[in-house]
Amino acid sequence: KQTQNRAYSGLLIATQNLVWISCVLPMKH
């Protein structure tokens, strides 16, 4: 269960990073 939790939290962080990047990149260009 702990491994599944860690994978889920990692997926959540990756998704947040993707959203953040897609928000920040257009502003720089």
Q: What is the pTM of this model?
A: 0.59
CA atoms within 13 A on the CB side of 5: 2
Residue span of the structural domain in which 5 resides: 1-29
CA 16/CA 8 separation, integer angstroms: 12
Structural tokens at position 4:
């599944």
Sign of CA dihedral 13, 15, 20, 26: positive
How sure is the predictor about 8, in pLDDT bands with cuts at 50, 70 and 90? Answer: very high
Query: For the chain, what is the domain count?
Result: 1
Question: What is the average pLDDT across 5-15?
Answer: 96
